Amino acid sequence: MPDIPKGLTTNKAAFIEDARSHGTLFIRQPYELYSEANQDAWRKLYARILPKWRRFAHPQFLEGVENLALDPHNIPHLDDINKFLEPLSGFKAKAVSGYVPAFLFFDCLRNREFPTTITIRDNQTLDYLPEPDVFHDIAGHVPMHTHRRFADVLVRFGEVAHTAADMVADVTDADEQVRRVESIIKAMARFFWFTVEFGLMRGEGGKTQVYGSGLLSSFGEIEHCIESPNVQRYPFQLEWVVNQYFEINHFQPLLFIVDSFDHLFHEIDALEEWIKQGKLNNVSPGEPEVNETDLKSFLHAGVTTEGLR
């Protein structure tokens, strides 16, 4: 097998292309392939956002950064991250070669595994990247995973996905089954978006703080989401969230605020109850679109996870 060229830049990584060509989703982190340009991108991303974390991030996120001993100068080794992470919440970062189908992603969370991208954006696209990279996943998501209650929320997402798959498996009409699955996936994706990815929380003294990873990893949006008059910020209401479409290619104009991590856990319990009651079988249309891969991952839930671990 020929040597794989050095460099793990998003959309330019030969190692990732090779893994995908062989159908390999779960991979190792080939740390030796990171280039100096990759490390420089990490350093720049970390250095410029750190002051904004201190101003706007939830204290549990800042505590997580400390507990993980994140290195501001070098891309983390996932093995090192997991040595700190697993004793705190049972979670571990698990390297992947690309997109993880929806049911499999949630099933990973149920097993306290976080699918983690290992590539990093290049120095020309530090401000925005439509797909996740190692900075978004490790510096945006994982510090929150050190908090046991938040980690339990992620596990509940996985359990809710199993509930959804079980519910639709009993639908005998194929067209109706697809329609219901698509609606439920859409509702779950919106819930995840407005909480885990773009969630706000009420802190001490009523101060609004950031706990969502999409905000925590965005140099521009972390401040914008708190201080801009152009952002609507509403108390979390489940019926609003599951029916609210979103677009990924611009700063979010509408965000939701939970009161606490216990409040968030309660809302995902409610989400599961709504699935059981059929209240998510017909949510409003619009983004996100549900692709065929995600649809099949729920329709064939048992097959989706078999052999991929």
Q: Where are the beta strands (DSSP E) in the chain?
A: 92-96, 113-117, 200-202, 208-210, 232-235, 254-258
Predicted TM-score (pTM) of this structure: 0.94
Q: Taking 70 as the threshold, does the pLDDT of residue 306 lie above it? A: no
Q: What are 209's strand-pairing partners?
A: 201
* CA–CA gap between residue 261 and residue 199 (Å, rounded): 11
Q: How far is CA 266 from the centre of its chain?
A: 19
Q: Is 255 helix (H, G, I), strand (E, B) or coil?
A: strand
Write the pLDDT tens digit of every residue in 58-109.
Answer: 999 999 999 999 999 999 999 999 999 999 999 999 999 999 999 999 999 9
For the record, the structure tokens of 286 come out as: 């619009």
Write the pLDDT tens digit of every residue in 155-204.
Answer: 999 999 999 999 999 899 999 999 999 999 999 999 999 999 999 999 88
Q: Which residues contact 36 (CB under 8 A, 6 or more apart)?
A: none
Identify the band that residue 309 occupies on the pLDDT scale cut at 50, 70 and 90: very low
16-25 contact pairs (CB < 8 A, 24+)? 16/97, 16/98, 16/118, 16/119, 19/97, 20/97, 20/98, 24/97, 25/96, 25/97, 25/98, 25/100, 25/308
Q: Where are the beta strands (DSSP E) in 200-304?
A: 200-202, 208-210, 232-235, 254-258
Q: Taking 80 as the threshold, does the pLDDT of residue 270 lie above it? A: yes
